[in-house]
């Protein structure tokens, strides 16, 4: 199992004097998540996007109106309004979104995707879908249930630990 984790994780386990299948597994999950994250960054880089910018675009595209306020995007994504403002600035510079005033409220803006933003999402959809299916194809159906149960247990434990702080 040690080969499934980064050297830094091995060092952390050694320093904490932990050597069990369970702790090795948690560190392997961390390394796997980091590998998936880096691979996702590489896929999105071909579209000059980050995961954050893509999330904002999807949050706007997924509304019935086809538009959203920065505040509603922040709430939906669970991030700060300042983070959304920075992401919107980048998307605006790329010409993928457009900001306009909200009728009746000069302080509020509405965000919509431009034609370029819509085209980017349309081109990204099959590429991202193929990539994700390829990654997920490494897990056989007979091991999926156990893997899902293990990840669920870890997520619940982390949530319990975080709420006790």
106-141 in b/e form (b: 16+ CB < 10 A) is eeebbbbbeeebeebbeebeeebeebeeeeeeeeee
- pLDDT range class, residue 12, cuts 50, 70, 90: confident
Q: Which helix (H) or strand (E) holds 70?
A: helix 70-77
Span 138-165, pLDDT tens digits: 999 999 999 999 999 999 999 998 777 6
Q: Which residues are CB-neighbours of 87 under 8 A, at least 6 positions away?
A: 50, 52, 53, 55, 56
Instruction: State how far the Cα of 103 lies from the Cα of 14, in Å rounded to an integer.
Output: 60
Locate the domains of the chain by residue range. Answer: 1-45, 51-119
- pLDDT range class, residue 14, cuts 50, 70, 90: confident
Tokens at residue 100, please?
Answer: 């306009």
Q: For residue 2, what pLDDT is reported?
A: 54
Q: For the chain, what is the mean pLDDT?
A: 89
Instruction: State how far the Cα of 153 lies from the Cα of 159, in Å rounded to an integer.
Output: 10
Percent of the chain with pLDDT over 70: 94
Write out the CATH class of domain 51-119. Answer: mainly alpha
Span 19-68, pLDDT tens digits: 778 888 888 888 899 999 999 999 999 999 999 999 999 999 999 999 99
Is the dihedral angle over the CA atoms 91, 93, 97, 99 positive or is it negative? positive
């Amino acid at each position: 199992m040690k080969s499934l984790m980064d050297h830094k994780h091995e060092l952390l386990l050694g320093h904490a004097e932990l050597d069990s299948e369970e702790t090795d597994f948690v560190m392997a999950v961390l390394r796997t998540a980091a590998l998936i994250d880096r691979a996702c960054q590489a896929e999105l880089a071909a579209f000059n996007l980050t995961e954050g910018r893509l999330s904002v675009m999807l949050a706007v595209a997924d509304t019935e109106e086809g538009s959203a306020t920065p505040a509603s995007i922040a709430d939906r994504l669970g991030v700060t309004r300042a983070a959304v403002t920075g992401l919107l600035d980048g998307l605006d510079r790329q010409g993928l979104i457009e900001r306009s005033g909200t009728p009746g409220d000069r302080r509020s803006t509405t965000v919509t995707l431009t034609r370029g933003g819509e085209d980017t999402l349309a081109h990204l959809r099959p590429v991202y879908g193929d990539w994700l299916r390829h990654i997920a194809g490494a897990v056989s159906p007979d091991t999926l249930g156990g893997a899902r149960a293990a990840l669920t247990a870890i997520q619940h434990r982390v949530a319990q630990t975080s709420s006790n702080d």
